[in-house]
Amino acid sequence: MGDSRGGVARPVSTTTRLFKGARVLATFAGADISDASILVENNVIKWVGATSDLPQDLQGDAVVDCSDMVIIPGMVNTHHHMYQSLTRCIAQDSPLFNWLVSLYPAWATMTGRDVYLASKLAMAELLLSGCTCSSDHLYIYPNNVTLDDTIRAAREIGIRFHPTRGIMTLGKSRGGLPPDHVVEEAGSALEDAKRLIEQYHDPKRYSMLRVGIAPCSPFSVTNECMEGAAKLARQYEQVRLHTHLAENQQDIDFCQQTYGCRPGKYLEQVGWNKGDCWFAHCVMLNDEEQQQFAACGLGVAHCPSSNARLASGIAPVRAMRDAGVNVGLGVDGCASNDSSNMLEQARLAMLLQRASLRDVKGMRVREALEVAIQGGAANLGRDDIGRIAPGYAADFVGWKLSRNVALAGGLGDPVAALILCTPGSVNLSVVNGEVVIRDGKLLTCDLEELMAQFSEASERVCASVGQPDL
Query: CB-side exposure of 444: number of CA atoms within 13 Å?
Result: 22
Examine residue 451 and state whether it is found in any structural domain, yes or no: no
Say yes or no to pLDDT of 9 above 60.
no
142-167 per-position pLDDT tens digit: 999 999 999 999 999 999 999 999 99
Structural domain contains residue 9 = no
Is residue 345 within 8 Å of 329, Cβ to Cβ? yes
What CA–CA distance (Å, rounded) separates 172 from 219?
10
Q: Name the average pLDDT for the chain.
A: 94
Residues 233 and 309 reside in one and the same domain: yes
The last residue of one of the domains, among 379, 406, 425, is 379
User: What is the pLDDT, as a whole number, of residue 11?
Assistant: 46
* C-alpha distances out from residue 151 to 40, 43, 174, 184, Å: 26, 20, 32, 21
DSSP assignment of 165-211 equals EEE----GGGT-SS-GGG---HHHHHHHHHHHHHHH---STT-SB--
* DSSP-derived pairing of the beta strands 441-442 and 434-438: antiparallel
Q: What is the pLDDT of residue 1?
A: 31
CA 112 to chain centre: 21
CA–CA gap between residue 388 and residue 399 (Å, rounded): 16
Instruction: Report if residue 33 sits inside a domain.
Output: yes
Residues 228 and 151 in one domain: yes
- The tens digit of pLDDT for each residue in 348-371 reads 999 999 999 999 999 999 999 999
Domains of the chain: total: 2
The whole-number pLDDT of residue 175 equals 86
In this prediction, residue 3 carries a pLDDT of 36
The pairing of beta strand 299-302 with beta strand 277-281: parallel
| C-alpha closest to that of 250 among 217, 274, 221, 201 | 217
Note whether 48 and 187 are same-domain residues: no
In a domain, 140, yes or no: yes
Same domain, 187 and 60: no
Residue ending a domain, choose from 379, 396, 423: 379
* Interval 14-31: pLDDT, tens: 899 999 999 999 999 999
> Radius of gyration over alpha carbons of the chain, in Å?
22
Say yes or no: 56 and 183 in one domain: no
User: Is residue 413 within 8 Å of residue 423, measured between CB atoms?
Assistant: no
One domain for residues 289 and 421: no
Domain that holds residue 417: 16-73+385-442
**SS3 state of residue 102:** helix
User: How much is the pLDDT for 469?
Assistant: 58
The answer to whether residues 193 and 151 belong to one domain is yes
pLDDT value for 4: 33
- pLDDT tens for 404-446 read 999 999 999 999 999 999 899 999 999 999 999 999 999 999 9
What is the CATH classification number for the domain harbouring 431? 2.30.40.10
Together in a domain, 66 and 109: no
> Are 48 and 140 members of one domain?
no
The confidence score (pLDDT) of residue 403 equals: 85
Helix (H) or strand (E) holding 346: helix 342-357
Q: Are residues 172 and 69 in the same domain?
A: no
Q: For 172-202, what is each residue's pLDDT tens digit?
A: 898 888 888 889 999 999 999 999 999 999 9
Neighbour count for residue 171 (Cβ, 10 Å): 17
pLDDT tens digit string along 284-302? 999 999 999 999 999 999 9
Residue 212 domain-assigned? yes
**Structure confidence by residue, pLDDT tens digits, 92-130:** 999 988 998 899 999 999 999 999 999 999 999 999 999
Spell out the long-range contacts of 449-452 with Cβ–Cβ below 8 A and sequence spacing 24 or more.
Answer: 450/117, 450/120, 450/121, 450/124, 451/121
State the CATH number of the domain containing residue 328: 3.20.20.140
The answer to whether residue 257 scores a pLDDT higher than 50 is yes
Confidence check: pLDDT of 131 > 80: yes
Q: Is there a single domain that holds both residue 241 and residue 373? A: yes
If asked whether residues 40 and 136 sit together in one domain, one would say no
Q: Is residue 2, in this structure, part of any structural domain at all? A: no
Dmax over CA atoms of the chain, in Å, equals 70
Helix axes 249-259, 96-107, angle to 10 degrees: 80
Burial 59-68 (b: 16+ CB within 10 A, else e): ebeeebebeb
Mean pLDDT value across residues 242-249 = 96
Final residue in a domain of this structure, among 351, 379, 407: 379
Asked, for residue 464, whether it belongs to a domain, the answer is: no
Please indicate, yes or no, if residue 459 is contained in any of the structural domains. no
